[in-house]
């Protein structure tokens, strides 16, 4: 592409594809065929997908899988996952099976409060602003009554509005720090609508406030936006069992428990390890969040911020051994929804929620946290026993064989062969060439 394009969004879908193929790809004909090959055969379903975002050209597929046998608070679940990374679903399933006979996963909702803020600049007497805010608060709530009435009928709404003075950090910087309960909705649009109305009311009422000077009346609203940091919208998931029940073919139970504990403690104190440790947790969390039509970028951002809440980036999971009992748990912020957004539009999202027995937002929080804990248990277990590559590379074997153009019969032979041999790119290539040379 040598020059910018004007009016791209106004082109038809076919025209957009033509332009992209001609200006941005080496083989326009093949590129167009590839994009069209991934369209849904049902025009109505494709139209639905086209309208999710702007400038849609095609659909980008991810595998949609389930990890079965999760015992969560006494109920059995098969957990839907949408993810491309080899071994994630297998690892989660293996962890679920391991804990199925050891009491399963126990969960607890620690809070469901979400946050939004109006950021503004006020240059004047802070005492006058504080006094103004106390008289303004009822008017702020009244100004959003039409927005909040339905949410309030269901038991949600605005919990609290607080004036915060941060002028020691940025000159004149203040904020309305607001907390919300949005029930089964993730609540982004609800929160942002309330905040923008708060901002408008704040500016209008400040101009009329007789105690303010002319400069003080001129409040500058910088922005009004929800926060994806939700340290009070948190769920805890836990597994535990007597140490003796941790016996595996790879290692005695006591040795395994101690090594596992040390591995988690290393992730607590070493940020380089903690980032990868928590990335493994997000393998499980993101896969379920994506499958259920939620915002995995928001969950990631909030989760990593929570991991640094003590001033140093650290593990989201914790482990201890107490009175001969091994305990492993996670506390993680999860702002999720089961109504609104894609949950009522995307056919596979609706199916995923049906597979999960149509959970409430709280129930989905529990399930997602368990997926993250299971994934982390499986990863750490591999790390302290056989090493991560043995299992991961075997799961990656089919991808490697597909890249090398192996036939179905060759793949079958090599999957059997590598059950007892080390998988590396070189060893797979060598074994495939050996089979092909015997034709």
**Is 295 annotated as catalytic?**
yes
Rounded CA gap, 10 and 215, in Å?
44
Q: Is 187 left (phi over 0), alpha (psi -120 to 50) or beta?
A: left
Looking only at the bridges linking them, the beta strands covering 325-333 and 75-82 are unpaired
Q: Is 162 left (phi over 0), alpha (psi -120 to 50) or beta?
A: beta
Residue whose entry in the numeric block shows the structure tokens 């007597």? 242
**Which is the catalytic residue, given 277, 346, 392, 394?**
392
Residues 6+ apart with CB under 8 A from 312: 271
DSSP 11: S
**Is 101 annotated as catalytic?**
no
Residue whose entry in the numeric block shows the structure tokens 């240059």? 123
**Which is the catalytic residue, given 13, 18, 73, 85?**
85
Residue 233, burial from CB neighbour count under 10 angstroms (0-12, 13-18, 19+): buried
**Which is the catalytic residue, given 181, 196, 295, 363?**
295
Residue 217, burial from CB neighbour count under 10 angstroms (0-12, 13-18, 19+): middle
Residue whose entry in the numeric block shows the structure tokens 């929800």? 226
Q: Where do the H-state alpha helices sit in 293-360? A: 296-307, 347-355
Task: Tabulate helix, strand, coil % of the chain (nearest 5).
Answer: 50, 20, 30
Rounded CA gap, 271 and 313, in Å?
6
Which of 363, 291, 335 lies closest to 84, judged by CA?
Answer: 291
Which of 369, 407, 299, 370 lies closest to 93, judged by CA?
Answer: 370
**284 phi and psi angles, rounded to 5 deg:** -75, -45
Beta strands of 314-385 (E only): which ranges? 317-322, 325-333
For the chain, how long is the longest CA-to-CA vector?
Answer: 94
**Which is the catalytic residue, given 259, 279, 362, 429?**
279
Beta strands of 4-145 (E only): which ranges? 64-72, 75-82, 106-109, 114-121
**Is 279 annotated as catalytic?**
yes
Q: In what order do the strands lie in the sheet with 106-109?
A: 106-109, 234-242, 325-333, 317-322
Looking at the annotation, which residues are catalytic?
85, 279, 295, 392
């Amino acid at each position: 592409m040598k020059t910018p394009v004007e009016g791209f969004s106004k082109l038809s879908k076919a025209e957009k594809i033509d332009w992209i193929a001609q200006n941005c790809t080496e083989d326009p004909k093949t590129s167009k065929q590839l994009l069209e090959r991934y369209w849904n055969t049902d025009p109505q379903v494709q139209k639905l997908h086209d309208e999710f975002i702007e400038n849609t050209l095609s659909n980008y597929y991810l595998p949609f899988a389930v990890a079965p046998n999760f015992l969560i608070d006494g109920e059995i679940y098969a957990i839907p996952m949408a993810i491309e990374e080899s071994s994630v679903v297998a690892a989660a399933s293996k962890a679920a099976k391991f804990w199925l006979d050891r009491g399963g996963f126990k969960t607890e909702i620690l809070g469901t409060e979400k946050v939004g803020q109006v950021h503004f600049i006020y240059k004047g007497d802070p005492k006058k602003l504080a006094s103004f805010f106390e008289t303004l608060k009822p008017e702020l709530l009244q100004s959003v009554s039409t927005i909040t009435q339905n949410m309030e009928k269901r038991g949600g709404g605005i919990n609290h509005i607080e004036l915060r003075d941060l002028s020691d950090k940025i000159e004149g910087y203040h904020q309305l720090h607001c907390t919300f309960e949005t029930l089964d909705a993730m609540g982004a649009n609800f929160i942002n609508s309330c905040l923008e109305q708060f901002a408008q009311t704040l500016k209008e009422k400040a101009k009329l406030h007789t105690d303010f000077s002319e400069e003080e009346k001129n409040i500058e609203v910088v922005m009004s936006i929800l926060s994806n940091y939700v340290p009070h919208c948190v769920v805890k998931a836990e597994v535990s069992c007597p140490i003796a029940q941790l016996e595996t073919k790879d290692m005695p139970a006591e040795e395994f428990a101690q090594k596992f504990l040390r591995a988690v403690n290393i992730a607590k104190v070493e940020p380089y390890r903690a980032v990868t440790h928590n990335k493994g947790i997000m393998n499980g969390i993101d896969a379920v969040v994506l499958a259920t039509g939620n915002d995995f970028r928001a969950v990631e951002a909030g989760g990593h911020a929570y991991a640094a809440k003590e001033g140093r980036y650290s593990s989201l999971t914790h482990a201890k051994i107490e009175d001969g009992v091994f305990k492993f748990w996670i506390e993680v912020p999860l702002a999720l929804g089961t109504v609104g957004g894609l949950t009522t539009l995307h056919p596979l999202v609706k199916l995923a929620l049906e597979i999960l027995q149509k959970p409430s937002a709280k129930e989905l929080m529990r399930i997602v946290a368990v997926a993250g804990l299971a994934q982390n248990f499986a990863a750490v277990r591999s790390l302290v026993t056989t090493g991560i590559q043995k299992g991961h590379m075997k799961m990656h074997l089919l991808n490697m064989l597909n890249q090398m153009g192996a036939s179905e019969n060759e793949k079958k032979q090599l999957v059997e062969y590598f059950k007892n041999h080390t998988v590396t790119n070189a060893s797979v290539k060598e074994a495939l060439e050996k089979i092909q040379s015997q034709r």
